[in-house]
Amino acid sequence: MRPLPRFARPGAIVLPLLLAACSTDPGRPAAPFPVLGALFSPVNDPAARAERGALEVLVKANHPALMAQIIAGGGPTLTRALDAAGVPANDRPARIIQLQSNAGLYQASPSALIAALAVYGG
């Protein structure tokens, strides 16, 4: 058997590692990378797609009120958004602090806020 050409050797090492990191669960295609898994799981799961759609409508329809409540540290619209995203109740105080620290980004981009909530909800 002939050895691999020099240019193919890095691929021979990296490719098996990448394949080993892949998940066989179609609902979590990027399981080693939780952010990507949370963002792409709605593609494969109709229930997750519906939940993500409900979250998107809620955030976009109430964005100014939601931002005010994030800055204030809580409120009914923020609670509804966290519920829609599936963020566990015991995790919410830390997540609200994280949302507050990136409020400028979320003010400018409702889509970034939707993605963050989706990731926090898992």
74 lies in some domain? yes
79 lies in some domain? yes
Domain that residue 59 falls in: 6-121
Band the pLDDT of 30: cuts 50, 70, 90.
very low
Whether residue 122 contacts residue 38, with contact meaning beta carbons closer than 8 Å, is answered with yes
State percent of the chain over pLDDT 70.
Answer: 62
85 lies in some domain? yes
The reported pLDDT for the residue numbered 37 is 55
The reported pLDDT for the residue numbered 44 is 61
> Structural domain tally of the chain?
1
Chain-centroid distance of CA 92 in Å reads 15
1 lies in some domain? no
102 lies in some domain? yes
Across 106-111, average pLDDT: 94
116 lies in some domain? yes
Rounded-to-10 torsion of CA 40, 44, 45, 49: 50
Q: Determine the straight-line distance between the first and last CA of the chain, rounded to whole angstroms.
A: 47
pLDDT score of 107 more than 70: yes
